[in-house]
Amino acid sequence: MEKLLLKYIGGHASDEERRKVLEWIEADPTHKKEYESLQKAYVVSVWEDIEEEKASAAPRKNKMIRLSWLRAAAAILLVSLLWNVRSLIWKGKSALEEEKIGMQTVHVPAGQRVELILQDGTKVWLNANSTFRFPSRFDAEKREVYLNGEGRLNVVHNDHLPFIVKTENYSVKVLGTDFNVKAYGIDNFETALMSGRVEVESTKGKKFMLYPNQKVVEEHGNLKVYTIGSMDPYRWREGLLCFENESVESLFQKVEIYYQIKITNKNKKLASRRYTGKFWMDDGVEHMLRVLQLNNDFTYVRNFETNEYVIH
Amino acid sequence: MEILKQSFAQLFKNYHHRSVLFAKSFVRLDEVAEDIASDALCILWERMKKEEVLSVKSFLFRVIKNKSLDYLKHQKVTRKVIESIEDWESRDLQLRIDTLESMHEDEMLTKEITEIAHRTLQALPEKTRQVFLMSRQENLSGKEIAQQLDISVKGVEYHMSKALKVLSVNLKDYLSVFLFFF
């Protein structure tokens, strides 16, 4: 009965079903009460702002401080941005409107990470080997940035200025949010939402709405929604590479992207293993290989010219 | 003007789907619910151009409720004229009119109720919450939700009725207060 009642309340029961529900409601005053309270709960739920998740606690101070030169670079960038804004203001309002929006590009080298603060206060963390393009000044209608790689964004909410992250095949529209986007060129696209709400749109126009603790993953060209099982994969901000029951093949794939190297594995025994664990990105590829060597018998050769590791 | 256009788009985005859901719950027909929702949003927009609307939700609730009641009452009148309509249909119509008339935005959209609803929905089991949230998305049918989450359509129905049931239990004290009003 409950399911029929639900259909009735949603307004999509057939005539036959409607009749059944009506007769049930009329049969007993307690039935009527049950219907009324469900109907009211439904109306309450319709008007409930489900997306209004309280902003999550400010991201933890990360351990990136160790890369002090990166901080310095980010600071210089910020200063230059502020300078741009200042000089624009200097030119007066009309000039400001006419001024073409300058795009800034940040490329993060392999094995490194960068933290940025955009003009509107939005915080951006970029993972290794990522390219991020953004206007030095956002225009009056929307905030649009471009990402090739992986980034974690903590967007400052503004009702009138949607924030859009464009990647090669998808765009992620943000409504004041903390989320992680992964779009390394051909690599499978992924967006994970920690708080707030985002909308993912493919170039074909298909749209997905994400709610906190959900991620959307590209699988064979289609997007699928999952619940985020573990926050570990998003800990790269702290400089951690986390793997959970991951095949060696997929582990190497990630390492190849983050360090921009090539790993060729010719050791079948190693290929069949799965790993769970964490590495500091700063410790480098060789450290990781040495850790893997602890319980696997393999040797590797590094070609310094092509940056290729061959495992035997 | 750009900013106005933008905000209407935003308004539409935030409230259109729930306006449709609210209306559809009573008028049942998609086209009618769509019309009522669009009308209500336009009325709201016109009003907002003239003066500040304190609670968008209460305003929409009231307009949609009245429009839905107009429609249902009109149905009742036409039904009386056409004798062929079966008795149970007019009783069904009356039930929906009575129920809708008993709902008042200043009782149902109070801070207390909103907070309970919010907490309840946050505390639902993950899958149930997910299904529920997705059902609130525009253009996402039960079948599509099932597909995206890799569960059956029956599973979606199960989670939906569970979510509503929990909510109605948690709101029981507040909702039964209303029951004394009619």
- State the CATH number of the domain containing residue A131: 2.60.120.1440
The whole-chain average pLDDT of chain A stands at: 79
pLDDT for B139 equals 66
User: Do the chains contact at A50 and B133, CB–CB below 8 Å?
Assistant: yes
Q: Are residues A205 and A253 in the same domain?
A: no
The domain boundary, picked from A231, A263, A283, lies at: A231
- Taking CA–CA distances from A36, the nearest residue in chain B reads B99
User: Do the chains contact at A2 and B92, CB–CB below 8 Å?
Assistant: no
Query: Rounded to a whole number, what is the distance in angstroms from the first to the last CA of chain A?
Result: 64
User: Do the chains contact at A42 and B25, CB–CB below 8 Å?
Assistant: yes
Are B101 and B73 spatial neighbours (Cβ–Cβ below 8 Å)?
Answer: no
Rounded-to-integer distance, Cα B166 and Cα B153, Å: 20
Rounded-to-integer distance, Cα A304 and Cα A7, Å: 66
pLDDT for A78 equals 53
pLDDT for B105 equals 85
Q: Would you say residue A53 lies in a domain?
A: no
Residues composing chain B: 182
Tell me the average pLDDT across A18-30.
91
Q: Would you say residue A207 lies in a domain?
A: yes
Q: Which two tokens stand for residue A113?
A: 């990470």
Q: Are residues A73 and A208 in the same domain?
A: yes
Q: Are residues A24 and A78 in the same domain?
A: no
pLDDT for A270 equals 87
Total domain count, chain A: 3
User: Do the chains contact at A50 and B157, CB–CB below 8 Å?
Assistant: no
User: Do the chains contact at A225 and B136, CB–CB below 8 Å?
Assistant: no
Of B7, B136, B157, the CB nearest to A50: B136
Q: Are residues A181 and A219 in the same domain?
A: yes
Rounded-to-integer distance, Cα A170 and Cα B45, Å: 32
Rounded to whole angstroms, the maximal C-alpha distance in chain A is 83
Whether the predicted pLDDT of A7 surpasses 80? yes
Contacts of A205 (CB under 8 A, 6+ apart): none
Q: Are residues A129 and A30 in the same domain?
A: no
The domain boundary, picked from A208, A231, A254, lies at: A231
- Taking CA–CA distances from A223, the nearest residue in chain B reads B148
Q: Are residues A109 and A163 in the same domain?
A: yes
pLDDT for B83 equals 59
Q: Are residues A39 and A130 in the same domain?
A: no
Sheet architecture: strand order including A300-303: A262-265, A308-311, A300-303
pLDDT classification of B138: cutoffs 50, 70, 90 = low
Tell me the average pLDDT across A259-281.
86
Q: Would you say residue A55 lies in a domain?
A: no
Q: Are residues A93 and A157 in the same domain?
A: yes
Whether the predicted pLDDT of A236 surpasses 70? yes
Q: Are residues A163 and A71 in the same domain?
A: yes
Which residues does chain B have within 8 Å of residue A33's beta carbon, measured at their own beta carbons?
176, 179
Give the CATH number of the domain where residue A294 resides: 3.55.50.30
Tell me the average pLDDT across B120-148.
84
Whether the predicted pLDDT of B35 surpasses 90? yes
Please list the residues that pair with A200 across neighbouring strands: A172, A208
Select the more confidently predicted residue: B173 or A240: A240
Rounded-to-integer distance, Cα A309 and Cα A301, Å: 6
Q: Are residues A171 and A212 in the same domain?
A: yes
Helix axes A2-10, A29-47, angle to 10 degrees: 50
- Which structural domain range is residue A9 located in? 2-47
Q: Are residues A42 and A187 in the same domain?
A: no
User: What pTM value is reported for the model?
Assistant: 0.49
SS3 A30: helix
